[in-house]
Amino acid sequence: MIRRLLALAAVAACAAACTAAPATAPAITSQPPTMAPSTTQAAPGTPAPRQVHDPGQVTGTLTGPCHTRDGGQLPDPACTPGAYDPAITAAILCAPGYSTHGYRPPPSQTSAFKYHVAYPAYGVEMSQQSELDHLISIELGGANDAANLWPELGPIPNPKDTVENALHAWVCAAAGAEAEARLHDAQVAIAADWTTAEQTLGIKRP
């Protein structure tokens, strides 16, 4: 009888050891991409650029009256504070072979917005020469939203094009977190005033 009790006790001990809870794998946590500290902030009282994801289409609308500044070279910040697409990173913009063609809306949309929305909102006459321009250029991750579009008066091509190219080159001269920080700074600077963006960022053309 005693031997039988001892055998049953041994079996019970083995069963308890064999059914112990299995070890669990540690939880996997992801870290957001790192970005170097930004040095450029929107000036006090200046609306910050908006974040809009709208590849291939014009979004939003303008409600006037809006007033251009500097002889039509700068938009009304209350109507056109600028907008960028957070999905378009420096890594994408600076990748070999990248083209902004796929992000641009079709001409039919931009023409309709220019003549039926932007011109009336800004009080621009049909006879005035202008370009429906992205305040934050597409090559800097600019969005197609109404907050980023305005009728820039003057000749075409306009002097802003060379500034956009210089800022894009400056962004892509860096890599990784530094390039992402430069992209953010370039977006803020060009939205605030494209005529002073290079000076603000300390960019010197060769």
DSSP string, 140-169: GTB--BGGGEEEEES-SS-THHHHHHHHHH
Element (H, E) at 132: strand 130-134
Whole-angstrom Cα distance, residue 36 to residue 177?
Answer: 5
Is the confidence at residue 5, as pLDDT, over 70?
no
What pLDDT score was predicted for residue 9?
Answer: 45
Tens of pLDDT along 133-176?
999 999 999 999 999 999 999 888 899 999 999 999 999 999 99
Q: Once rounded to an integer, what is the mean pLDDT over residues 101-130?
A: 95
**Average pLDDT taken over every residue of the chain:** 85
Is the confidence at residue 33, as pLDDT, over 80?
no
Residue 3 tokens read as 């031997």
Instruction: Decide which of 206 and 93 is more confident.
Output: 93
The owner of tokens 């070890």 is: 23
Domain definitions of the chain by residue range:
50-201
Do residues 154 and 129 lie in contact, with contact meaning Cβ atoms separated by under 8 Å? yes
Instruction: Decide which of 19 and 141 is more confident.
Output: 141
What pLDDT score was predicted for residue 205?
Answer: 83
What pLDDT score was predicted for residue 37?
Answer: 54
Q: Which amino acid belongs to residue 187? A: Q
- 179 Cβ partners below 8 Å, 6+ apart? 90, 91, 94, 171, 172
By mean pLDDT, which of 7-11, 156-160, 183-187 is the weakest?
Answer: 7-11
Q: How confident is the model at residue 42 (pLDDT cuts 50, 70, 90)?
A: low
What pLDDT score was predicted for residue 36?
Answer: 55
What pLDDT score was predicted for residue 41?
Answer: 61
Whole-angstrom Cα distance, residue 52 to residue 35?
Answer: 20
Q: Once rounded to an integer, what is the mean pLDDT over residues 19-37?
A: 39
Residue 151 tokens read as 């009728």
What pLDDT score was predicted for residue 24?
Answer: 34
Is the confidence at residue 182, as pLDDT, over 70?
yes
